[in-house]
Amino acid sequence: MEKLEIKLGNVRILPKENFPRFVAGLGSFGEVFAPLRRPDGVRSFSRVGKGDGDVGAIDLRHPRTMLPPKKFLFPPEMEMYRFSADGGFTDPPPNGEDGPKVLLGVHPCDINGLLILDEVFRRYYVDPHYFAKRERLVIIGANCEPDDKCFCKSMRSEYVDKGFDLFLTDIGDAYFLRMGTSLGSDIVVADPDAFRPVERADVRVYKEAENRRAQALKSQVELDSLPQILELEYDSEVWEEAGGRCLSCSTCSSVCPTCYCYDVFDHLNLDGASGSRVRRWD
């Protein structure tokens, strides 16, 4: 993993009183989605409306959202093509969901999940359906408040140095902001007065905050020999036991940030001569 290196040109301070203004500014880069506190306590990546209520409900330090951000790139069900009797498979018409989106408040674990998904959809053959959405997705990461179930340390996923356009770390009355891409820089340049330069004292507070978080990540999972164990225990009765409890509800593939299996279906229209091909989480 690359070492943390903060070039001071790539960092800014976003005072918290400017946060609503920052969120409003993101609107010109795409439709904004963020983890909103719902009345039932669940956090879910939801569209941030123009009103103050939604901005106030943004919860950047939430433990985990119900569903990972995977759904924005690899939707549970997606129309791939329209087909007709002449054999042509054409792109479905735009459905209003294809515009650029800004995902605000993506945690390092979820950013790492997206980087793995990127690799899956890039390797062997590039999947253009995935990357059409990926290229229109602005990622604004945010540091989390780990709970006792977070095992990021074992996965080396508690920190990211790529996979985001901007990254916000809570340092008390402000956010320490890292720019990961030129697009991230564009967002800052679009409203330069919302930010101030980083001072030495900010760096100290940032390091303290990171250390505190690192210490809060207590859960450790032994992973080193896991691939080999899985292979050697292929015939273990554990799998039968686990399989016996499975209801095939597919919740696991919904909540997994990297599960990418899918199935493909052709739906024929009533005319019997045209239809659409869809892919669906499997």
Partner 1 sequence: MLTEHDLARQADPLRPLPARLVASEALASDHRLFQFRFVDQELNRDWSHRPGQFVMLSVLGTGEAPISISSSPTRGGVIELCVRKAGRVTGALYRLKENAIVGLRGPYGNGFPIDQMKGHDVVIIAGGLGMAPLRSLLWHMLDNREDFGHLALLYGTRAPEDMLFKQEVTGLVERTDIDTYLTVDKVPEGQEWSHDVGVVTKLFPHVKSRIDPDNAYAAVCGPPVMYKFVLRELLDMGFGKDRILMSLERRMKCGIGKCSHCGVGYKYTCIHGPIFTYWDAMNLPEMV
What residues line the site for partner 1 (CB under 8 A)?
A: 80-81, 83, 85-89, 91, 120-121, 123-129, 231, 234, 260-268, 272-273, 275, 279, 282
Q: Which is nearer to partner 1, 72 or 83 (CB)?
A: 83
Least gap, CB of 140 to partner 1 (angstroms): 28
Closest contact distance (angstroms) between CB of 241 and partner 1 is: 18
* Residue indicated by tokens 């009797």: 85
- Within 8 A by CB and 6+ apart from 256, the residues are 68, 70
Looking at beta carbons only, is 151 or 262 nearer to partner 1?
262
Neighbours of 194 (CB within 10 A): 19
Q: Which is nearer to partner 1, 78 or 216 (CB)?
A: 78
Smallest separation, CB 279 to partner 1 (Å): 8
Rank residues 243 and 272 by Cβ distance to partner 1 and give the closer one: 272
Give the CA distances from residue 266 to residues 259, 272, 279, in Å, rounded to whole numbers and listed in that order: 22, 12, 9
CB of 91 to partner 1, least distance (A): 8
Dihedral of the alpha carbons of 111, 112, 118, 119, in degrees to the nearest 10: 170
Decide whether 21 or 129 has the Cβ nearer to partner 1: 129
Residue 160 contacts residue 114 (beta carbons within 8 Å): no
Q: How far is the CB of 122 from partner 1 (least distance, A)?
A: 10
Scan for tokens 């997606």, then name that residue.
78
Min dist CB 265 to partner 1, Å, is 7
Nearer to partner 1, 15 or 131 (CB): 131
Structure tokens at 252: 């696991």
Per-position b or e across 42-66, b if 16+ CB within 10 A of its CB: ebebbebeeeeebbebbbbebebbe
3-state secondary structure of 175: strand
